[in-house]
Structure 1
Amino acid sequence: MNVSSDKTQEKMENSSETCNKKDELIEACETNLKTREYYQEKYQKLNEEEIKLHDDDGNPLFFNGVEVSKLSKSQLKKYRRMLKFEAVKKDKRAKERLKTKKRKHEAKLNNLDLGPTRKQLKRSRMANSSCKTSVVLDLSFDGLMIPKDLGKVIKQVLRVYTENRRSSTPMQLHITSFEGKAKAEMEKHNGYQHWDLNFHQTSYLDIFPREKLIYLTSESENIITTLEEDKVYIIGGLVDHNSHKGICYKKALEQGIQHGQLPIGEYFHMKHRKVFTINQVFEILLRVIEGKSFKEAFESTLPKRINIQPNKVDNEVHTNDGDAIEESESDNDDATS
């Protein structure tokens, strides 16, 4: 009798527990349903109250995070220029593609070389190059430049990398003092970490023997007539609009390292200081490494707008083409010669 009573009580308890679990499960489901309904309602409201980013014509209502109605005159000019560019961008890109296709077709018909292919570029790396001459881009001057000029320096560095990458005999290229503002500016260009280029946070003095270093500067009295394979040629990374004249020459003297200038004065007469952009100096060095003379390298690299006249001795053989336009100072690099 007692056994039967105990079993009945046990069944009632189990049934009660099952009911409680069912109630908990139902309550949990109702809670989840309410939560889902809450977020659905909230998401719907967000969609309804979403900030309008474009007007009825599809033009953006904000420019660089500022409402168009609150833009200054200079910002408004940039905004209008941006709208104009966006309006013609697709058409411009289509024309560029057609032009490229036409150029490739004409080159194929006339057996012209359009430069290295992607496969050739992948094989043409510094480690495989027959050239072991090193060039350093010294970026230790970032504190002397406004952001705009620092941006110009980095753009010139990109051109240097492009020239070296496309060369059949790339030079051993290094960037030193790569930190602070200069590094922050470079980080705007995604993927630079994978470039075939040596980045160093430290100074060139911590990387190369002091006796192998030669700083290129237009103030030096030493004329470089040949490039030596075991030397390291330093190009100062500075766009200064002539406000820091001679700074690279002074730096070389203070550090007790060699200095020199490219021999442009041996072949040409210039009416202004022998100061060129970072990429111009590098390209001259690269052309010489590839087999050209310094004179040929100057002629093929320097733009016609630079006012260079052949020296009297040289002029007996070669005549000038008459294109003499003063070089713009916007990209001048006081660290080069």
Structure 2
Amino acid sequence: MSVMDTDSTERPSVDQEVKEVIDKTKPAAPSEASVLPQKRPAEDEAPPMSKNALKRLRKQQEWEAGKEDRKQKRKESRQARRVRKREERAALVAQGIDPDAHKTQKPPSVSVPVSLIFDCDFEQYMMDKELVSLGSQITRSYSENKNARFRTHMFVSGWNGKLAARFHEVLEDKHKNWKGIDFLEGDFIACAEEARKKMEENGGKMIEPLKKSVNEKIPWERDERDPFPMPDPEPEPREEYKDIVYLSSDSPYTLERLEPNTSYVIGGLVDKNREKGLCYKRARQLGIRTARLPIGQYMVMASRQVLATNHVVEIMLKWLEYENWGDAFLSVIPKRKGGQLRQQEGASGEVEDEDEGEEEEVHESAPEAETEEAASKP
């Protein structure tokens, strides 16, 4: 046998080698069991819940189950309180004492040409418990404004989705009986247009602090420190939106005074500061003025400067009454935060600014017990 014949019988051809490699890389033929339709757990069954998720679910179910009992207890408590007051009054009359003799007369609430708008178009950034907290803040804000010495026009923008559904289902549409507040599906700019019309027609009384804001107008100037630097230059505020100010602690401008015939927008965002600068960037892109409350100039805090939305509303209402930011902050900021006026505080430490109007400390317990009674009162 020749050498050529020996090589041809012992070594496979190139085509055979390629075929062998391809055959080895081919997947094996599927067995009968493997071709059966497989169950897709992502579609057919829910993924298992964690212990914390189960605990939250049970807690929510227990809360819902006890809703009617809590409602009945609140009703009984109100009735008992009314009976007790009638009995106390009758006892004073029986002793010949005028029960109204030492009763201080509260001055009537006066409407002023200032509007507060809650921008609630942030649902996609919040968890359900944060939406619950936001609903509670809106309820408290309405109550504070209704009872304030000087009350503002109030609007809620972006009124749709889960928040509106919650007020419809949980609070049983009691907000529809509220006076001096409008709930609109449009954005905060649409609300500002409605506010402009309302203030032009019957804006309210021009009180002294607002008159001074007109007569002693303070120039709108940037602060030396920019709390949220942006890479691109800031656009000029649009003329048609000159009567709108979006409140954000990320703004490089400080709110010195409230101005008449102006709408102040408060971001309805309760997110523990996950979305830093969201409200500021939204206003900036639309060419709307921004400003932050001057809390760092007047107060030194023992804890982070994080205020609930309703605290921002209260502070602004108190400024209309006192015309002094320090007094306004001191009367509103919770004592647990340990706030002190700077001239009263001996330490020299600075406190980093946080979002006055964009976040709050979210409590685990649902706030219906605190808000349903207030919501039922127009």
> TM-score category by the smaller chain?
0.5 to 0.7
Are residues 104 and 303 of structure 1, via their aligned partners in 2, closer, same or farther at CA, if it must alter by over 3 Å?
farther
Q: How far did 1:229 drift?
A: 0.7
| Residue-by-residue CA offset, 1:83-120 (whole Å, 9 max, x unaligned) | 9969977875565445655787899456233757xxx6
Asked if residue 172 in structure 1 is aligned to residue 153 in structure 2, the reply is yes
Which residue pairs with 2:126 in the alignment?
Answer: 145
Take 1:131 and 1:169, find their aligned partners in 2: how far apart are those partners? 6
Asked if residue 211 in structure 1 is aligned to residue 194 in structure 2, the reply is no
Give 1:266's aligned amino acid: Q
Are residues 98 and 265 of structure 1, via their aligned partners in 2, closer, same or farther at CA, if it must alter by over 3 Å?
farther
Aligned with residue 103 of structure 2, among 91, 97, 112: 112
Take 2:120 and 2:88, find their aligned partners in 1: how far apart are those partners? 38
Are residues 96 and 136 of structure 1, via their aligned partners in 2, closer, same or farther at CA, if it must alter by over 3 Å?
same
Q: How far did 1:329 drift?
A: 2.0
Asked if residue 280 in structure 1 is aligned to residue 311 in structure 2, the reply is yes
Are residues 258 and 98 of structure 1, via their aligned partners in 2, closer, same or farther at CA, if it must alter by over 3 Å?
same
Q: How far did 1:237 drift?
A: 0.8
Take 1:328 and 1:141, find their aligned partners in 2: how far apart are those partners? 15
**Superposition pairs for residues 17-96 of structure 1, below 5 Å?**
74=59, 92-93=77-78, 96=81
Q: How far did 1:288 drift?
A: 1.3
Q: How far did 1:307 drift?
A: 2.9
CA contact 2:248–2:280 (8 Å) conserved in 1 = yes
CA contact 1:218–1:275 (8 Å) conserved in 2 = no
CA contact 2:326–2:341 (8 Å) conserved in 1 = no
Q: TM-score, normalised by structure 2?
A: 0.54
Asked if residue 161 in structure 1 is aligned to residue 142 in structure 2, the reply is yes
CA contact 2:141–2:310 (8 Å) conserved in 1 = yes
Aligned with residue 301 of structure 1, among 332, 340, 344: 332
Aligned with residue 229 of structure 1, among 252, 260, 269: 260
Are residues 100 and 176 of structure 1, via their aligned partners in 2, closer, same or farther at CA, if it must alter by over 3 Å?
farther
Q: Percent identity?
A: 28
Give 2:362's aligned amino acid: S
> Any gaps of 5 or more consecutive residues in structure 1?
1-71, 317-326, 332-337
| Residue-by-residue CA offset, 1:241-300 (whole Å, 9 max, x unaligned) | 222222212222222211111111121123554321111100111111123411111111
Take 1:90 and 1:235, find their aligned partners in 2: how far apart are those partners? 34
CA contact 1:131–1:289 (8 Å) conserved in 2 = no
CA contact 1:104–1:114 (8 Å) conserved in 2 = no
- Give the number of equivalent residue pairs: 240
Q: Which has the higher mean CA deviation after the structures are superposed, 200-209 or 89-98?
A: 89-98
Take 1:133 and 1:88, find their aligned partners in 2: how far apart are those partners? 39
Give 2:264's aligned amino acid: Y
| Residue-by-residue CA offset, 1:213-264 (whole Å, 9 max, x unaligned) | 1111112221112111122111111111222222212222222211111111
Are residues 310 and 164 of structure 1, via their aligned partners in 2, closer, same or farther at CA, if it must alter by over 3 Å?
closer
Give 1:177's aligned amino acid: G
Give 1:111's aligned amino acid: H
Higher relative contact order (CA 8 A, sep 6+): 2
Are residues 178 and 110 of structure 1, via their aligned partners in 2, closer, same or farther at CA, if it must alter by over 3 Å?
same
Take 1:198 and 1:76, find their aligned partners in 2: how far apart are those partners? 32
Are residues 100 and 301 of structure 1, via their aligned partners in 2, closer, same or farther at CA, if it must alter by over 3 Å?
farther
| Residue-by-residue CA offset, 1:139-188 (whole Å, 9 max, x unaligned) | 10122212221111111111111111122421011111112222112223
What is the DSSP-based 3-state SS (H/G/I as helix, E as strand, rest coil) of the residue aligned with 1:282? Answer: helix
CA RMSD of aligned residues (A): 3.5
Take 2:75 and 2:188, find their aligned partners in 1: how far apart are those partners? 45
What is the DSSP-based 3-state SS (H/G/I as helix, E as strand, rest coil) of the residue aligned with 2:337? Answer: coil
Are residues 307 and 247 of structure 1, via their aligned partners in 2, closer, same or farther at CA, if it must alter by over 3 Å?
farther
What is the DSSP-based 3-state SS (H/G/I as helix, E as strand, rest coil) of the residue aligned with 1:290? Answer: helix
Q: TM-score, normalised by structure 1?
A: 0.60
Asked if residue 201 in structure 1 is aligned to residue 188 in structure 2, the reply is no
Take 2:307 and 2:60, find their aligned partners in 1: how far apart are those partners? 32
Greater helix share, structure number: 1
Take 1:178 and 1:81, find their aligned partners in 2: how far apart are those partners? 28
Are residues 216 and 273 of structure 1, via their aligned partners in 2, closer, same or farther at CA, if it must alter by over 3 Å?
farther
What is the DSSP-based 3-state SS (H/G/I as helix, E as strand, rest coil) of the residue aligned with 2:121? Answer: coil
